[in-house]
Amino acid sequence: MARKGSRKVRTGCLTCKARKVKCDEVKPRCHRCISTGRTCGGYVTKPNPGLLWHRPRQLFQSIDTASEGRALQFFCEETAQFLSGATDPYFWTHLVMQFSNFEPAVRHSVVAISSLYEQFQAGGKVSSVHLGENSLALQHYNAAIRELKTTENQPLVLLVCILFICIEFMLSNKTAAIQHCKHGIALLENANYSWAREYLVPVFRRLSTFPFFFGNSHDDFPDLVPLDDPIPISFRDFAEAQSVMDSILSQALRLIRWGDAYRFGSKRYESIPSKYLTEREETGSMLDKWHALFLSMDAGAMLPATPTSDSYNFKTDTIQAMSRAILLVRYEVCRIWLDVAFETDETCYDSHLEGFRRVIGLCQFFDSMVPDEARKTVTNRNPKFIFEMGFMPLLHFVATKCRDFDMRVEALRLMMVLGVPRENLWEIDQMFAIGRRVIEMEHDVVLDDLGCPITPALCPSPPADEKRVRFTITEPNLFTHVNVNKEEVLGWSVDFVMRDKEDTIFSHTEFIPKERLETTLYPISPPASV
């Protein structure tokens, strides 16, 4: 029998649209969401004058081609919902979508991001995508660059700068991503727009961390300190607590990278400058204050649900508990980073076993909350790329720096359970393979493709300092290596920097194969803010 037709409503709330259900359109929050315990995402509205700052140059309502329209629809229904990973998706679902209706540079960038994201989702376990293989993304990325060259509107440039960073993340272009990040932060320092501080500074503050991991010199390291506000006497909401933690995390990473020369570089035997010691003390005090305020924070102030948590019907108390766990993981890692910033001996990490144990415990709690249906199969609804940093680099830190064998093996497992195949520039296959090899070298053990011991660990926990890997240098691009069996294997060249018994720093180079982890399942991204 023919199905009875109905008028399709396009003005429902964002949550109902994402769930593909009919919205009752009650303002300001629809009853359908509230009655089922969900957080209503609100309604897309035309940007108000406070957000536009100027009369739009072009009312960009029409769609030029079918491919462009399809990309915009895919961005709205899929990409924008999951790009943020576990972070509140407001920037992508509201701000970017609003400006894509009025600003050509934003619209072209959105089409490029959407097309590349769809290519990521459809491409299996790929480490990156290429513009040369995606003519639609190439066309619109170039168009966005041309549009941006014709404007002097700094707020628009800042917004599009974030979109360009997203594109370069997907293309694995770390140099271009760092340049865009530094350019955006430089513009922010001179921007006197209250809305930019509210909506863009938090994004750049989170972005400011990745150059410390991927930058090659101090010239690559951004500085957001001039934009940081004093720590409040209490946190109004979860977003404020997260913003302050992001600021402290960025400062801690900056201090650690400045300390590289004193830990294993040319200044290893020199005294630490007093300005660095003072900065560490001040940052540590801020971290202590943050922790006290966070623990005393009203539990009801946790981050609201995201599209991911809605799709699995997470209850409010579950979201709140997971939200707290994620930020506490960052706190624990940040505390360790600060304490070891200028230590020359790798055994300094051994005094932080309790901190590492708390990180593992918090991640195990998070793991227990991931629903079984998220583990059973990999679907296109499970993102293979997210814009934000998630669990992966933090668990990689535990796996490579905590010298308790059982804890670091558990960190490897959790990395594959809680990580996403690509978290901005971090690729999970590479991070897992390097972490596994570091453990093998330090404990004289062989681990299988899932990180489980095949042989007994001959070196006890903790290993001697000369057995430990200081850091690794990895060639970003995969290449083909012919092994002893005359087989061609895809993988990376990795330098393991170590110290010998004569206290000489040296580099040991190995080829690390990229195995196919057939039995490893990637869950969807976590449902609360990282």
DSSP state of 310: H
489 phi and psi angles, rounded to 5 deg: -125, 140
Instruction: Quick: pLDDT tens for 449-459.
Output: 889 999 998 98
User: For residue 2, what pLDDT is reported?
Assistant: 41
User: For residue 384, what pLDDT is reported?
Assistant: 86
User: For residue 461, what pLDDT is reported?
Assistant: 85
The residue type of 316 is T
User: For residue 277, what pLDDT is reported?
Assistant: 95
- For the cut 80, the answer to whether the pLDDT of residue 521 exceeds it is no
Cα 196 to Cα 189: distance, rounded to the nearest angstrom: 11
Cα 280 to Cα 339: distance, rounded to the nearest angstrom: 8
Residue 13 pLDDT grade (very low, low, confident, very high; cuts 50, 70, 90): confident
Cα 92 to Cα 86: distance, rounded to the nearest angstrom: 13
Tokens of 275: 């300005």
User: For residue 405, what pLDDT is reported?
Assistant: 96
By three-state DSSP, how is residue 306 classified? coil
User: For residue 286, what pLDDT is reported?
Assistant: 95
Length of the chain: 530
- For the cut 90, the answer to whether the pLDDT of residue 88 exceeds it is no
Strand ranges inside 7-148, DSSP E: none
Instruction: Quick: pLDDT tens for 343-374.
Output: 999 999 999 999 999 999 999 988 887 766 65
- For the cut 50, the answer to whether the pLDDT of residue 334 exceeds it is yes
User: For residue 307, what pLDDT is reported?
Assistant: 55
Helices (H), 224-273: 238-258, 260-264
CA 270 to chain CA centroid, nearest Å:
35
Instruction: Quick: pLDDT tens for 463-506.
Output: 999 999 999 988 767 777 777 777 778 888 899 999 988 888 89
Residue 317 pLDDT grade (very low, low, confident, very high; cuts 50, 70, 90): low
- For the cut 80, the answer to whether the pLDDT of residue 518 exceeds it is no
Residue 301 pLDDT grade (very low, low, confident, very high; cuts 50, 70, 90): low
- For the cut 90, the answer to whether the pLDDT of residue 153 exceeds it is no
Residue found by looking up tokens 């064998």 in the block: 405
Q: What angle, 0 to 180 degrees and rounded to 10, lies between the N-to-C axes of helices 353-369 and 405-418?
A: 30
User: For residue 431, what pLDDT is reported?
Assistant: 92
Strand ranges inside 369-478, DSSP E: 385-386, 422-423, 426-427, 469-474
CA atoms within 13 Å, Cβ hemisphere of 89:
32
Contact 365, 400 (CB under 8 A): no
Residue found by looking up tokens 């700094």 in the block: 154
Torsion of the alpha carbons at 73, 75, 81 and 82, rounded to the nearest 10: 140
User: For residue 177, what pLDDT is reported?
Assistant: 95
User: For residue 352, what pLDDT is reported?
Assistant: 97
